[in-house]
């Protein structure tokens, strides 16, 4: 049986306000990303660490 996928509707303005430009690179803090997905920061970091192949190479490079 397949899991039901919950679709999130997040306003663009909310996401855009959480993107920072640091040294010419667009950056989003893990705490802000976790908040958008409704998980704790530690669970987000753990998921990235456990599933590195599912994320692009430039996604959270500090965890790699």
- pLDDT the model gives residue 60: 74
- pLDDT the model gives residue 29: 93
In degrees rounded to 5, what are phi and psi of residue 29? -70, 145
Q: How far apart are the first and last CA of the chain?
A: 33
- pLDDT tens digits for range 7-63: 768 889 999 999 999 999 899 999 999 998 899 999 999 998 898 888 888 887 766
Asked whether the predicted pLDDT for residue 64 surpasses 70, the reply is: no
- pLDDT the model gives residue 8: 67
Domain extents in the chain: 12-53
């Amino acid at each position: 049986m397949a899991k039901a996928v919950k679709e999130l509707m997040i306003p663009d303005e909310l996401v855009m306000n959480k993107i920072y430009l640091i040294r010419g690179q667009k950056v989003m803090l893990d705490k802000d990303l976790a908040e958008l997905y409704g998980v704790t920061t530690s669970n987000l970091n753990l998921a990235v660490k456990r599933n590195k192949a599912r994320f692009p190479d430039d996604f959270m490079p500090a965890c790699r």
